[in-house]
Each structure stands twice: as structure tokens, then as C-alpha cells.
Amino acid sequence: MQFSRALRALPVVLWLAPSALDAPLAAQVRYRITTDGAWFFQEAGGKRLARLARGALVAGGDGDAQGDWLGVTLEGWIFATSVGPTPRAGFDLTVIRAPEENLRSSPAGALVGKLPQGFLLTKVNDVSADRWVHVTRAGWVQKGDVEAVAQVASSRAAGTDTGSGGPTPGPRPGVAGAPGHGPGVGQPDTSPASPDPSHVESARRTVLYRAPEGPPTGTLAPSAPLRVLGRSGDWTRVQIEGWVKSGDLQAAPAGVLVGVTAAELRTDPQRYVGQVLRWTLQFIAVQKADELRPDIPNGATYLLARGPLPERGFVYVVVPEAKRLQLDALTPLATVQVTARVRAGRTRFLGNPVLDLMSLETLP
């Protein structure tokens, strides 16, 4: 749900698929993604590849429409350490971080979406910025997930200007006769579409738990769509998407960052020092710092936790004296939401983030 909220508020930039360049500019129309977490597909009617944000802007034309499908190009920035080279023709990189990595609109910018491990990408004219790489990928979206917003007045507005170092689009995958290739475009994936094991549904009325053997948090109706995040023994961690009334939601307080991952802190630790985050964690234990934890004051009380969920890495949360009474009510594996200031993006020896607790709430 946290991912769903983050995506709803953040913009996405998608550039026009190249085959539409042969159409008159008047035929090129901008669209906005209207479905939260809309799928980005490999081909029209093909395999689902990644989730996009509600509010994403896409551009397409008659030449890029096939029935209920619209061809587009995904573009953004990703951590250089989260991608590696690939032998696949027409692509430069593949996502190597498991289970997924954030794609952002600019270095450390707005969240575009989450790309799963193995997602293929092409660098944009070898453009990079410090620890970030500028990438692109061609694909398709369903017309039912978009709405027209305006006509494109110029090639620059459509993202097709090639005179200023911008991306030079290539042919659409699956469109015959399109010569050559450009960023994000190569030989189409040939693997047949098959049931996605990461997407399931409840077989019956099902109890949803905060953690294995933990307290129940709600009940799922039969056939509720679920996304599998991980498995452990007889348990499966799932993510459910749906709709709630806007009046039941609240925005994060001013100055509090949401949607930041622990992986981002570890990759660029100095950038986040002093920033305030809101994270959902799984409480493990209360511990006292010693000389093996040089990033925490010796003798200080800290929470050992996992997260931010669904990440499984460890996080250290230093607890001030005034808030230690709250720890008495915590039980192992309880899910808590903390607002905390980043003391260290990664520890010296183990690479785990260290936070200074500001507030803590136990979730049901």
C-alpha cells in the first residue's frame, strides 16, 4: 500500500515511441496514466514487465496504436550499482538488484516505478550522473489505463528533439519494417506469455497477517488480486492493491521523506544524512550499542529491525531516553512505523542504515 500511495503522487515521463515519428505531429497526442500501478508491457497483449505511476505522461500516435494498446517509451534514472551488462541484442543493461529497483525521473528525483530483476534497459547516449545512469525502454500500455490530455505542439514537446543530446528513439518492438534501433529498442523478447507466479489471487476468504504467526490485520475476499513479494516456509508475503476514500488518507508531514529505500541510503549515504524518513519496520529486538557498533554511541539503546518493508535488510534505530518506555510494549516481529532522522546511511562494517528515532507507532 505504501508503494501504491507513493506512485499515486509522483509523475512519470514517457517519451513517444519512434514509429509515431512517421505520423504528422498533429496526430501525436499526449496521454496520462489514470490507473494506479498500471502495467508496462513487453508487447501489445504480451508479457507484463513493470508497474507505472498514476499521472504518468505518455505520448503516442495512430502508428503506435494496436486495438486496445498504445506504444510508448519508458525513460528515467537508476542506480548504477543496480544494473549490469546484458548480452541481449538491442539492450545495454539489465536490473540486477532483487527483487526490484526504483526508477526515478531524475537523479534522486521523483519515483517513476519499480523495475523487477532482469528488466532490460538501454543507456541514453551513455549519459550518467555520478552514481546514476540514464536509461530507457520501449513497451506498451493499455488504452484503458490512459486519458488524452493535449496535442503535442512540437517535436521537442514530444521528447523527440535530437539536436540537444536528448534520446533518439528507435523502432517499436513488434512493428514490422521499422529500420535500425535506438535507445530502449532491440529485438523483442521472444519468450511466450505465461502465468506470472508473482501475481496470484486468494482462493477463499483469507485472513491477512502482519507477519508470520503474528496478529491478523484484516480479511481478504475470494479472488482478491495479490502480488507475491517473498516466501518463507508455509507463509507468503503479499501486496494488495485497491482503493480507499481520499478522506481516510493523510499526507506525510512537511519535511518527511516517504518511499526512500534502504538500498538508496546504502548507495548514496551522505546524501541522506540528516534527512527525516518515515519507514515501516519489523521489530526484532532491543539492544545496547558496544564497540562493535562505532556508528552508534557506546551504551545507547537501539532497535534492531528489518526493513523498510518489504526489504529484508537490517536497520538500527537509536532510541532517546525519553522514548524508551514505548519499547516495553513491543513484541518480536511486531510491525512498527517510525519517523526518524538518518544518522548514517550505512554502518562502517555491515552497511546497515542508522536512524535516530523521533516517533514510533505499533501497527495492527
Domains in the chain: boundaries: 9-151, 256-362
The 10s digit of each residue's pLDDT in 30-86 is 777 777 788 889 888 889 998 887 777 776 654 577 888 888 877 888 998 999 999
Residues in a beta bridge with 354: 316, 344
Q: Which helix (H) or strand (E) holds 148?
A: strand 146-151
The greatest distance separating any two alpha carbons of the chain, rounded to the nearest whole angstrom, comes to 70
Distance CA 12, CA 112 (A): 5
Superfamily of domain 256-362: Nucleic acid-binding proteins (2.40.50.140)
- Average pLDDT, 10 consecutive residues per value, the chain (364 residues): 46 41 46 80 89 73 74 84 90 91 81 86 78 87 78 40 40 38 41 58 80 71 80 76 77 80 84 91 91 88 91 91 86 91 87 92 86
Question: How many CB atoms sit inside 10 A of residue 254's CB?
Answer: 6
Mean pLDDT of the residues in the chain: 75
Residue type, 348: R
Q: What does the alpha-carbon distance between residue 62 and residue 113 come to, in Å, rounded to a whole number? A: 26
Neighbours of 281 (CB within 10 A): 25
Among candidate residues 18, 87, 3, the one with its CA nearest the CA of residue 50: 3
pLDDT at residue 82, rounded to an integer: 92
pLDDT given at position 358: 93
Q: For 201, left (φ over 0), alpha (ψ -120 to 50), or beta?
A: beta
Q: Please give the radius of gyration of the chain, using alpha carbons only, rounded to the nearest integer.
A: 22
The residues near 157 (Cβ < 8 Å, ≥ 6 apart) are: none
Q: Given this model, what pLDDT does residue 84 score?
A: 92
Q: How far is CA 78 from CA 72, 133, 233, 245, 256, in A?
A: 19, 5, 33, 33, 22
